[in-house]
Amino acid sequence: MDTTPVQPVDAEAILAADALGVPLDALQLISREPLGPGSVTGFSVTAAPPVVAYVDTSLHRVRQETGLVLEGEARVWIHPADPHLPALAPAAFGHAAEVLLSRLGIAAAGMPEIVGYRPGRRAVLRVPTADGMTWVKVVRPRRIERVVQVHTALRDRGLPVPPVRGWSPEGLLVLDNASGVPATDGRWLPEALLDELDRLRAQMASADIEGKARTSLSSRLSWYAERLRAARPDQADLVNGVARRADAGMNADHRIQTIHGDLHLGQLFVDESTGEVTGLIDVDTAGAGNPADDAAAFIGHAIASAVLTQEGGDADTVWTLVDLAVERWAMDAGTRALIAIHLLGHALAAAETGVQPRADLLLSRAADIVET
């Protein structure tokens, strides 16, 4: 299988090369995500010194710029100096993180490690401490109070959300470790896990949270389709067909309740002896929304995970989980349309980083789900 990444030749690459003073062939595309009316595109820069740079065309306002601003066009910054997340750069360095945690009575026992990053949106850092792992989440400053409120509201409803140890108006949140083992690493039975998720989703639906959940992925259909056609022009007809059927399948009339907003296996922790879900993380996306968005996110991520596992080992358990979840949660055209949109997003990520066989398999799965 050819997994050699493709070289970027798009407008963002040209902007990055000009801003950094490096040739285009010194850039390697690593990510691209929509942000506002534009996007944030990440590049690994192989020229000395090696860095990771981001080109942001969202034109969202920030408190303070941290890189080069191309007025009315884009901004370019070097990771971790994300202007949307002013707390990220300080938290990413050992001494600053140690001081921060000490103020909360937590003794850091090692350097912080960034384990999750969505440029312009949020970052998650893991810090070893004397009592185990502590997690530091960085969000946009204007969102931090709501994120704290969401954690509190969900814990009050009995959901296994890690407690908040402290937070800062600059957009920084400190959380205890979730109980149990990550579901991505632990043992579970597919049907029992879905039973647990039904229970947790019902508890979540009863929680009183102000504000909307993360914007439905339905809004990204055109964005994904346009870029996937560009990345895989030989699959343009299939992309168009999936997009057309997904658009036709979406139903604007649906019930509204509190949802997670980004539900997938990576957000769950389990007790391997009982099968109980003992931890639910990344709930800052929670709020009022369409429950089909949670079902579609879970199934779409599970299919993408199964495809990855299929490339490296036995995926039977995950495919069983997918089949049972589709039977349980995706009998209607609206949910299947949302699953297809998730799969277009996963296919785009694979295509733009050069893993074409995976992209084509995910696209084929998207076609299957909207034709069911």
Rg of the chain taking only CA atoms, in angstroms: 21
- Give pTM, 2 decimals: 0.90
Q: Is the pLDDT of residue 43 over 70?
A: yes
User: What is the pLDDT at residue 249?
Assistant: 92
Average pLDDT of the chain to the nearest whole number? 91
User: What is the pLDDT at residue 311?
Assistant: 64
Alpha helices in 92-217 (DSSP H): 94-103, 144-156, 190-205
Q: Is the pLDDT of residue 341 over 60?
A: yes
Residue, of 110 and 345, whose pLDDT is higher: 345
Please enumerate in sequence order all residues whose Cβ is within 8 A of that of 140, keeping only pairs 6 or more positions apart, or say none. 84, 85, 121, 122, 171
pLDDT tens, 205-240? 999 898 999 989 999 999 999 999 999 999 999 999
Q: Is the pLDDT of residue 116 over 70?
A: yes
Q: Is the pLDDT of residue 302 over 50?
A: yes
Which of 96-105, 205-214, 239-248, 254-263 shows the lowest per-residue confidence on average (mean pLDDT)? 96-105
Q: Is the pLDDT of residue 9 over 60?
A: no
Helix (H, G, I), strand (E, B) or coil at 129: strand
Q: Is the pLDDT of residue 5 over 70?
A: no
Q: Is the pLDDT of residue 191 over 70?
A: yes
| Reported confidence tier of residue 1, pLDDT bands at 50, 70, 90 | very low
User: What is the pLDDT at residue 94?
Assistant: 66
Give mean pLDDT, residues 156-169: 93
Q: Is the pLDDT of residue 7 over 70?
A: no
User: What is the pLDDT at residue 6?
Assistant: 45
Which of 65-74, 237-246, 311-320, 336-345 shows the lowest per-residue confidence on average (mean pLDDT)? 311-320
**In 3D, which of 277, 41, 102 has the Cα closest to residue 178?**
277
Percentage of residues of the chain with pLDDT beyond 70: 96
Please enumerate in sequence order all residues whose Cβ is within 8 A of that of 316, keeping only pairs 6 or more positions apart, or say none. none
Give mean pLDDT, residues 301-315: 82
User: What is the pLDDT at residue 251?
Assistant: 77
**In 3D, which of 348, 311, 354 has the Cα closest to residue 363?**
348
Question: 332-364 burial, b for 16+ CB within 10 Å, e for fewer?
Answer: ebbbbbbbbbbbbbbbbbbbbbbbbebbbbbbe
Separation of first and last alpha carbons in the chain? 29
| Reported confidence tier of residue 276, pLDDT bands at 50, 70, 90 | very high
Q: Is the pLDDT of residue 263 over 90?
A: yes
User: What is the pLDDT at residue 2?
Assistant: 40
Task: Give the right CATH number for 181-371 from 3.40.50.1100, 3.40.50.300, 3.90.1200.10, 1.10.10.10.
Answer: 3.90.1200.10
Please say whether the beta carbons of 117 and 124 come within 8 A: yes
HEC profile of 50-61: CEEEEEECCCCC
Q: Looking at domain 88-176, what is its CATH homologous superfamily?
A: Phosphorylase Kinase; domain 1 (3.30.200.20)
